[in-house]
Amino acid sequence: MPTETDKYTAKQPGRVAIQTRFDEATYAKGKVLSAIYGESFNALLVRSLKNEIRRYEERYGGLPRQIEPGE
């Protein structure tokens, strides 16, 4: 059975945990926007990034895959 800290530190398959930094005004507006959309701030960021990638690839073609260490 997972411990209390495991739910915060355990890596989910196919997911990467990152840390981002925002100026206070952008963060505050992002929190309001995520509430308007009825989603978490993290979900707003993920959706926004996916939309930006989609727009870029529609205009310029696919982005190259990042090379992982050991490849």
Question: For 6-60, what is the HEC assignment?
Answer: HHHHCCCCCCCCCCCCCCHHHHHHHHHHHHHHCCCHHHHHHHHHHHHHHHHHHHH
What's the token pair of residue 18? 């990152």
Give the domain ranges of the chain. 20-60
Q: Which of 3-7, 29-33, 35-39, 51-55 has the lowest mean pLDDT?
A: 3-7
Residue whose structure tokens are 């050991």: 70
Tell me the angle at which helices 41-60 and 24-37 cross, rounded to the nearest 10 degrees.
90
pLDDT, mean over the chain: 87
Residue 54 reports pLDDT greater than 90: yes
Predicted confidence (pLDDT) per residue in 10-22, tens digit: 667 788 888 999 9
